[in-house]
A and B are shown apart, each in its own frame.
Chain A
Amino acid sequence: MKKWFAVLAVVVLALVISGVAMAQDAPSGELEIFSWWTGGGEAAGLDALIAKFAELYPDVSVVNAAVAGGSGVNARAVLTTRMLGGDPPDTFQVHAGEELNAVWVAAHAVEPLNSIYEANGWMEQFPQGLLDLLTDAEGNIYAVPVNIHRSNVMWYIPANLEQWGVTVPTSWDEFVNETCPALQAAGVTPLAVGENWTQVHLWESVALGVLGTDAYNGLWNGTTSWTSPEVQGVFDTFLKVIACTNDDRNALPWQDASKMVTDGTAAFNIMGDWAAGYFLVDLALEPGTGFAWAPSPGTEGNFMMLSDSFALPVGAPNPAAANAWLSFVGTGEAQDLFNPVKGSLPANTTADIGNSELYNAYFQSAYEDWTSNAIVGSLAHGLVAPPAFSNSFGPALASLIDSGDIPSTTASLAQLAIQTGMND
């Protein structure tokens, strides 16, 4: 018995000493990467990143601690519990923006990463609009974005539109007053939408289309009042748009809603550009002919973005390896490994976007918009509002669709914005 302990103690001591010694030069030891990428292209993309990282840093053994389900809610619950219990992973996935700032940054639970940005020259390589969204009031940046998704995209099939005799609407007024009645007369669902969060996703496109860039941004920095007539108008338009959607919406995940378009039972669908991957890979359609896209009505010239990022928690067990990982995932090279598989845009402008073997026609065109458009943030995906606000926003929309009572919805949202400290 005693001998066993002695052996164990020596081994542990040796491990600790070697760990300490090696941390000073090349990173080694375990690197625990926490994410909610467990399926499909996301998991494949993460695996590609990990494989390349292992090649670059053979001494680091990567632990992929992904938690499935609930579009990240489950992962966030586990992460919160671990952080509270003083057991942080080495790095974790988080939506850039308020989802990161209002919780992790506000609680001083993540480290600023400015030194990594400066050491790698990323201040010049990432677009300024993105850096503005990531930087807080003190000029600190807390996350390394690995990809960019666009939220305000409207999907359709050109041949079908021709057959029904409609064109792509360029404003919500046009959609509600002309496109929608024409399609309903033809017996087609004008707009396909799915369960609650996809309705929030639709709402942000309506809000941006009706309000325009500045007033939309004002909702999140406090310069646009929730009870103003303009915002009431957003909800009014939203209810009219909902009246043009399929009424089994609450039963459908986003894929089923997008599939209504390719099945020819619906004309349009507004969904983030992960739908491109669904059309291309799962349904094997040709971009441009099999499916086509346009900015959602009235949002031409705006790129509503969301981004998956990695952050460095305070007290990470292996900061050297975590730093190596963060320095790696921000490079154009790593983003070219991840994004073609996941189906998203690289955030780093040095990525090889012109390579049509990596990035298909949709992403080529989206990248043009990304580099030329005004960049705004998505509500449904955690960029512009703290989680406490988003948590109540979906149910508020559901209750609005039920009651149609716009003034009391906007009044309670105004109160919610104050209560969740959004306009500070």
Chain B
Amino acid sequence: MKGRVNRDRLIAFLMLLPSIVLVFIFVYVFIGQTTYTSLTDSNAVQQLSRAQANFVGFQQYNSLFTNPLDYRFRMDLVNTVFFTVLFIAMCLGVGIGLAILLDQKVKGEGTLRTIFLFPMALSFVVTGVVWKWLFNPTYGINQLPTYFGLPPAQFRWFISEEKVLVFNWQNLPYIIAIIALGFVIFFAMRAWVRRRSTVGALLTALALLLMAWITFGGPSNLNGLPIPEYYGFNLALIAIVIAAGWQMSGYTMAMYLAGLRGISEDLREAARVDGASEVGVYRHVVLPLLAPITLSAIIILGHISLKIFDLVYVMGGGDNLYIDMPSINMWFTTFRAGDFAKGAAIAIIMLVMVAVVIVPYLISNLRKENEL
């Protein structure tokens, strides 16, 4: 019996071996190679003349965050953060709304579901072209009000140059420190309320430390930028959020719909018997049960938005900085400017951003599987 198990294991291992080897080479070795490139001064001329790249440590990263010439990269980071937050919010909002509506046992549900899901089957390039026409400020949807005798709308969509929530990049360490302080205070208070005094005391101490650090100007030591640079939420991103949200909302809806179907009717009945209104059923029973779906949706949407390239490239033509994303900058830096090392550094920073979103999710999934 035991021999048989071992042989099964051996066969399983041999079956998996090719994919393990291929994944190792084509994913992990390449990540390693890119990381190494990002620590050198590799560029097109040097590589074409078969010269050896020089190891320069973190010079490329340093330049990305502190060299005034690399402001495009910092603009990209700010854009990515705003885009990701709004894109996920829109997809989740529209997705759950559509799912709840479809869950009301409407007639023709199958047809509607297909219609809502359909945009996902398109390529982002197609979406980009279509929405680029729709959002054209002179002859796009800005003309809609004229059908009702109103003047055309004035918002300039993806070429808008307006920005709100403007901040100086040099103050970013302060802003992050204050946001972190807010979180620490929140969790400290929650711990006290829940009578977990050890955790509460630790968090309070941390909050006091942070406060002292901020008051004595600690964060300003972290600023490496010599001149002020102002960034903000570029309103042009709204157009990208709508186009991307239009494409991915249907997918989010499908995920939620599957989740809703997984909630047994008994639970809802029990709530109704206990006197819950229909809204109450959703608020206290259905939505809490959908939390794992929301988490999965955030992970999937988050990694799409952090890597987005094609939609923005098509809509912006490449050099529209108000909607620029790190992936476009990476492509131009590597292949238009021939600066391989800096392109690799941008790639690694993107990888880290995606990893921050995905790795905790993978770990919690692994734990759950082990528990089962």
Contact = CB atoms under 8 A, between A and B. Distances in A.
B289 to A, nearest CB: 45
Contact of B319 (A76, A247, A398): A398
Given A84-B47, A197-B319, A416-B69, 9 more contacts: A103-B48, A107-B44, A247-B156, A248-B138, A248-B156, A250-B158, A251-B132, A251-B137, A408-B68
Nearest to A421: B45
Nearest to A108: B49
Contacts of A249: 159
Interface stretch (A9-17, A24-32, A119-127, A387-395): A387-395
Contact of B137 (A77, A248, A419): A248
Interface in A354-383: none
Interface string B314-345: 00111111100000000111111111000000
A211 B333 CA distance: 30
Contacts of A83: 48
A419 B69 contact: yes
Contacts of B334: 77
A292 B156 CA distance: 32
Interface string A64-76: 0000001001001
A161 interface: no
Interface in B159-196: 159, 161
Consensus secondary structure, chain A interface? helix
A239 interface: no
A394 B324 CA distance: 13
A393 to B, nearest CB: 10
B69 A84 contact: no
B48 A196 contact: no
B43 to A, nearest CB: 8
Contacts of A412: 68-69
A395 B319 contact: yes
28 contacts: A70-B318, A73-B335, A73-B336, A77-B334, A80-B338, A84-B47, A103-B48, A106-B49, A107-B47, A108-B48, A108-B49, A195-B317, A195-B320, A196-B318, A196-B319, A196-B320, A248-B138, A248-B156, A251-B132, A251-B137, A253-B317, A388-B337, A390-B336, A392-B69, A399-B71, A399-B321, A402-B161, A402-B321
Contacts of B46: 107
Contact of A394 (B47, B319, B339): B319
Interface in A205-260: 247-251, 253
Contact of B158 (A102, A251, A391, A392): A251
Given A196-B320, A250-B320, A387 B159 contact: no
Contacts of A140: none
B336 A76 contact: yes
Interface string B19-51: 000000000000000000000000111111100
B72 interface: yes
Interface residues of B, number: 37
B78 to A, nearest CB: 13
A248 B136 contact: yes
Contacts of A403: 230
Nearest to B337: A391
A310 interface: no
Of the candidates A104, A391, A399, A403, the one having the most CB atoms from chain B within 10 angstroms of its own CB is A391
Contacts of B332: 73, 391
Interface string B335-361: 111110000000000000000000000
B166 to A, nearest CB: 11
B227 interface: yes
Contacts of A177: none
Lowest 8 CB-CB distances: which A-B pairs, in order?
Answer: A107-B48, A196-B319, A391-B337, A77-B335, A250-B159, A107-B49, A388-B337, A391-B336
Interface residues of A, number: 40
Nearest to B329: A395
A104 to B, nearest CB: 7
A116 interface: no
Contact of A195 (B44, B137, B319): B319
B190 to A, nearest CB: 42
B49 A109 contact: yes
Contacts of B335: 73, 76-77, 80
Contacts of A387: 336-338
A248 B227 contact: no
Contacts of A415: 68-69
B319 A104 contact: no
A107 B45 contact: yes
Given A109-B48, A196-B317, A416-B69, A251 B136 contact: yes
A247 B138 CA distance: 10
Contact of B338 (A103, A401, A402, A408): A103
Contacts of A109: 48-49
Of the candidates B47, B333, B338, the one having the most CB atoms from chain A within 10 angstroms of its own CB is B338
B336 A102 contact: no
Interface string A38-51: 00000000000000
A165 B177 CA distance: 61
A399 B332 CA distance: 17
A76 B161 CA distance: 31
